[in-house]
Amino acid sequence: MPTSRPTAAPTPARNEDDQRFLDDFATMSTFGATPEGGVDRQAATEPDNAQRRWFADLLEENGLRVVYDRIGNQFGLLERVPGAPYVVVGSHMDSQPTAGRFDGAYGVLAAAHAVFRVASEEPDPASPPVHNLAVVNWFNEEGSRFEPSMMGSAVYTGRLGLETALATRDRTGTTVAEALAPTGFLGDGDGPEAVFCAEIHIEQGRVLEDSGSSIGLVSASWAASKYEITVRGEQAHSGATVMPDRRDALLGASLLVVAARELADRFPGVLHTAVGKLDVYPNSPVVVASRVELLLDLRSPDEDVLARANELLLERVAEIEAETGVTVERHLSHAWGVNPYQPSGVDLARSSAERLGLSSEPIMTVAGHDSINMKEHVPTVMLFVPSVSGVSHNVGEYTEDADLIAGLTLLTDVTRRLGAGELGPATPYVPGEDRA
C-alpha cells in the first residue's frame, strides 16, 4: 500500500460540496472494482457501461443534458448562452485490465463537480458567461481493449476517421461498433462545438510528490517514437531441433525487450522505454516461435536524445537479426516531438493557483492524454495532482483526499474563467501558433 505524503496543499475543513465529491468518487470506484482495490472497466465492457449509466444519472440530476457522439463520447451539457460554443472539461473513465481507481476517473468526476459548482453560483455582472460548459467522458482513452488509445478524442478532433475507429476489433474480433451498438451510447452527431478544453489528471509520476507541490501546470508532452514490430523466425520442434538450426522469433523479440531497457539506461532520466505487449505464435509449449508481434516505445523530453535512441535501436535491430537468424520488420506507428500546451492557458492556471494559495510548478507529461489531441484543436489547459510514490496503472495507485480536493478547487476556478472568456475570443487554434 502506498505511503501517505505530507500534502503541500492547505487542508481546509472539508465542506459539504467536498464531501459530496469524495462520496461520489467512492461510488464511482465500485464499478468494475477488483478484490485488490483497483478497477477493471475496459471500454464498452459491462463495468464501463454501468458506470456510464450511473454518471449520466448524476449529470442529469444536476441539471445537465446528456448526449453522445458517433464514437460514444459522453457529454453533459450546461447551456448558459444559447448558440455559444462549449468549454469542454473532463477525462476518461475506462481503465486498463488491472488498474487503479484514479487514472482518468478522477478527472471526469472533478470536471462534473467543477461544472456543478459554477452552475450553482450567482452570476457575476462583472464577468458574465460567454461560453457554455460541457463535461466529457472520452471513449476508449486507455486503448486496452481497442487500439489505438485516446480513440474518442482522436475521432472528435478529426485525427482519426470515424469509420476506421468503428471498425477496430478487439482480441475476440468484436468491433467498436458492435460493442457500442447495444449500449445506447452511440449518438448521431459530432458532439458539442468546443472553444476551450481543460483536463485534470493524477500525475502518474512523482515529480510533484518529490517537490512538495500541490499542482502541476502541464507545459508540454514528451517527444515519442512508437513502433509496431514483427519478428519472423521459423517454426520448429522445441526439443528436437538442434540449437544452431533454430531461428527463434521469441529469442529475437526478447533481445529487443532487453535492448529497449539498455537504451534507457544509456540516457538515465531523459529516456523512457518499454515493450508493453507481446503476441507469440504459435505459443505452444513444444514449438519454437515463428512469429512475435510487439509494441516498443521510446519517450524523451529531449528531441536530440530521442533521435539518437532511434539510431541506436536501428543498429541493435541489425545486430539481433545477424545473431539469431530472424528478420525484424519495424513500422513507426506514431511519432511526435516535444509538444507544448498553449502558454496562455498555463499562465491562467498559474494565476488561479496563486489566488487560491496552492503551490504549483510547470511540469511535462510523459503519458498520453486526451488533452494532447484537444490542444491541437482548441486552446487547452492540463493540470496534474500528485500521485503517491508515482504509482499508476496499478491497483496501488493513490492520491490523497486533500490533493483531490485542491485539484477540484483549482479546476473549478479555471472552468469558471474559461467560461467567462478570459483566454480571449473564440478563435480556432492553429497547431504551431502561440508556442514558446
All residues at 6 or more sequence positions from 73 whose CB lies less than 8 Å from its CB, including other chains: 136, 137, 138, 139, 152, 153, 155, 156, 191
User: For the chain, what's the residue count?
Assistant: 436
With 50 as the cut, is the pLDDT of residue 4 above it? no
Which pLDDT does position 56 carry in this prediction? 98
* 174-180: average pLDDT: 98
Which pLDDT does position 126 carry in this prediction? 81
Task: Say if residue 340 is preceded by a cis peptide, omega within 30 of 0.
Answer: no
CA distances from 2 to 180, 201, 400, 416 (A): 36, 18, 10, 34
Identify residue 313 by its one-letter amino acid code: L
With 90 as the cut, is the pLDDT of residue 296 above it? yes
All residues at 6 or more sequence positions from 378 whose CB lies less than 8 Å from its CB, including other chains: 88, 194, 195, 196, 197, 428, 429
Which pLDDT does position 427 carry in this prediction? 46
- Express each pLDDT in 119-144 by its tens digit: 999 888 888 899 999 999 999 999 99
With 60 as the cut, is the pLDDT of residue 395 above it? yes
Mean pLDDT across the chain: 93
* 61-72: average pLDDT: 98
Domains of the chain listed by start with CATH number: 16-222+339-419 (3.40.630.10), 223-336 (3.30.70.360)
| Among candidate residues 306, 263, 257, the one with its CA nearest the CA of residue 278 | 257
Q: What pTM does this model have?
A: 0.89
- Express each pLDDT in 420-430 by its tens digit: 999 876 444 34
Cα separation, 124 vs 385, whole angstroms: 29
Which pLDDT does position 423 carry in this prediction? 87
Which pLDDT does position 124 carry in this prediction? 81
Determine contact, residues 128/416, Cβ cutoff 8 Å. no
With 90 as the cut, is the pLDDT of residue 54 above it? yes
